[in-house]
Chain A
């Protein structure tokens, strides 16, 4: 369970519902695309970022008889919501719709994925909230999907993968950020690749191990893009949530970014205060995984210089821990109220009790 205090009910910022196959989404497609799935013999979009057979993708004791998992609300309740004393959980589907090169198919399947989440998850448990998975071929498409779903306030975040086609801070994505701010949504950025480029800046990886670790580089580059392009400064009320990014890389990376900024800030004069301050104000990270041995966690937290940045997540059904040990070891008990709940409430405008008042929060 998450806390020795049963009154402290947790907000789980990263759980992953998984469609069993593309046919799972067919009822949420229009007739043309539903038939295309059959006629083209398309089976599934499980991403190489999260191979179903990989032990990390689905914890062994959370797999069903088929070896799959995370396919129903019942599993989520039994495996995470109830045992971890979760009050609210945010669904972040990682089904590989981002990988599609066909822009129209990408839009159709992404819409179906979001509608599947709404009908088969959100409608079935009041504890659930969700991210709007964004079709990222064009900013117009992404904004249109936000506009379509934002009236449903159970959608609390827009979701992109950390490795897309173009760095996320670039100005072409600003309409997406503007829409997030206007609707009181955070911008979630999850580990994973759309495979438009090699997963590392030095080329394609050979191994799962390399690729999983490479996400950290991608988060660094994405964070640098968001800061240097001025995106965070342009939308100061926008909160960006890095999901399954790990945590411990951040202080060292910020040191380097900030140190060099002091010398070449004339390149990016709109970055008019310390990059680390901007990041501390606007960027949050899910603390699953944390990426440090227990006895070093305190030092890392000191380096972050903030107790507001970390959000708890079970990362269900990914295998980050065994049993009910869902708090990264080494997190001090005094931090739990913020980690488990307070920081999430402060991060997601739509989770706050006064959320309605924040709707229309403008840039």
Chain B
């Protein structure tokens, strides 16, 4: 499916898209790279699109804060569980607690006009770029 024109999701931005059958997907722009996650926290279903986007803090020892990957973590607005936007994996249990991730990439409008993807709510213009989510 087509999530929208690239211009609608600037770097640092996010967009919630309807994926049909009640499913919602949130698309993030990380410095020009696009990532798509199910908009449903695996804990109790909180809307990740409404969460704080933050960095990843670790500590080599108590009192020393190592703050990296600023803007690459999304924190659920309900209970603050942190997920890696790039992978959908939770910080505290990355193997078992994950948000479903969908491949996302940018396609030329000219390719989409004839391609397999659907844009139900807006016309695709051949001269623009679009974010495509394989959901």
List the B side residues contacting A262 at CB < 8 Å.
79, 81, 92
Q: Give the distance in Å from the alpha carbon of A161 to the alpha carbon of B79 in the complex.
A: 35
Given contacts A269-B57, A274-B92, contact A263 B62 (CB under 8 A): no
Distance to closest chain B CB from A278 (angstroms): 13
Do A263 and B81 contact each other (CB < 8 Å), given the known contacts A269-B57, A269-B58? Answer: yes
Cβ of B72 under 8 Å from chain A: no
Which one of A171, A230, A270 has the highest number of Cβ atoms from chain B below 10 Å of its Cβ? A270
Please give, as numbers and ranges, the residues of chain A lying within 8 Å of B81 by CB-CB distance.
262-263
Answer whether residue A207 sits at the interface, using C-beta atoms and an 8 A cutoff.
no
Q: Output the least CB separation between B82 and chain A (Å).
A: 7
Known contacts A269-B57, A274-B92; is A264 also within 8 Å of B80 by CB?
yes
Whether a CB of chain A sits under 8 angstroms from the CB of B61 is yes
Nearest to A273 among chain B residues (CB) is B92
B99 to chain A, nearest CB (A): 14
In the complex, what's the smallest C-beta–C-beta distance from A67 to chain B, in angstroms? Answer: 48
How far does the alpha carbon of A322 sit from the alpha carbon of B15 in the complex, in Å? 68
CA distance A233 to B63 in the complex (A): 12
| Interface check B59, CB cutoff 8 A | yes
> Which chain A residues border B54 with CB–CB below 8 Å?
266
Q: Which residues of B contact A229 (CB under 8 A)?
A: 62
Shortest distance from the beta carbon of B73 to any chain A beta carbon, whole Å? 9
Asked if A127 lies at the interface with its beta carbon under 8 angstroms from chain B, I say no
B79 in complex: contacting residue of A263, A266, A270, CB < 8 Å: A263
* Residues of B51-96 whose CB lies within 8 A of A: 54, 57-59, 61-66, 76, 79-82, 91-92
Instruction: Using CB atoms, name the residue of chain B closest to A274.
Output: B92
A265 with B91: CB separation less than 8 A: yes
Name the CB-closest residue of A to B90. Answer: A262
Which residues 267-314 in A have Cβ within 8 Å of B in the complex? 269-270, 272, 274
What 1/0 flags go to A213-245 for Cβ under 8 Å of B? Answer: 000000000000000011101100000000000
Contact of A234 among B62, B82, B91 (CB under 8 A): B62
C-alpha spacing A270/B91, complex, angstroms: 13
Chain B interface residue count, CB cutoff 8 Å, equals 17
CA distance A264 to B92 in the complex (A): 11
Chain B interface mostly helix, strand, loop or mixed? loop
- Tell whether, in the assembled complex, residue B61 and residue A234 are in contact, meaning their CB atoms are under 8 Å apart: yes
| Residue numbers in A under 8 Å from B57 (CB-CB) | 266, 269
- Considering the chains assembled together, what is the distance between the CA atoms of A269 and B54 in angstroms? 14
Measured between beta carbons, the chain B residues less than 8 angstroms from A261 are 92
Q: Return the chain B residue nearest A270 by Cβ.
A: B59
A266 contacts which chain B residues (CB < 8 A)?
A: 54, 57, 80, 82
B78 and chain A: residue at smallest CB distance: A263
CB-contacts of B81-123 with A (<8 A): 81-82, 91-92
Residue of A nearest to B43 (CB): A262
B59: contacting residue among A171, A269, A274, CB under 8 A: A269
What's the nearest-Cβ distance from chain B to residue A269, in Å? 4
Residues of B contacting A274 in the complex (Cβ-Cβ under 8 angstroms) = 92
Is there an interface contact between B62 and A171, defined as CB atoms closer than 8 Å?
yes
Q: Do A263 and B61 touch (CB < 8 A)?
A: no
CA–CA, A182 to B43, complex, Å? 42
In the complex, which residues of chain A have a beta carbon less than 8 angstroms from the beta carbon of B59? 230, 269-270, 272
CB distance from B27 to the nearest CB of A (A): 24
Contact A270 B80 (CB under 8 A): no
Please name the 3 residue pairs, one residue from A and one from B, whose CB atoms are nearest each other, closest first.
A230-B62, A263-B80, A270-B59
> A residues near B, CB below 8 A?
171, 229-231, 233-234, 261-266, 269-270, 272, 274
Apart from A171-B62, A266-B82, list 15 A-B contacts with CB within 8 A. Answer: A171-B63, A230-B62, A230-B63, A233-B62, A262-B92, A263-B76, A263-B79, A264-B80, A265-B82, A265-B91, A266-B57, A269-B59, A269-B65, A270-B61, A270-B64
Can you list 24 residue pairs at the A/B interface with Cβ under 8 Å? Answer: A171-B63, A230-B62, A231-B62, A234-B61, A234-B62, A262-B79, A262-B92, A263-B76, A263-B79, A264-B80, A265-B82, A265-B92, A266-B54, A266-B57, A266-B80, A266-B82, A269-B57, A269-B58, A270-B59, A270-B62, A270-B63, A270-B64, A272-B58, A274-B92
Q: Which residues of B line the A interface, CB within 8 A?
A: 54, 57-59, 61-66, 76, 79-82, 91-92
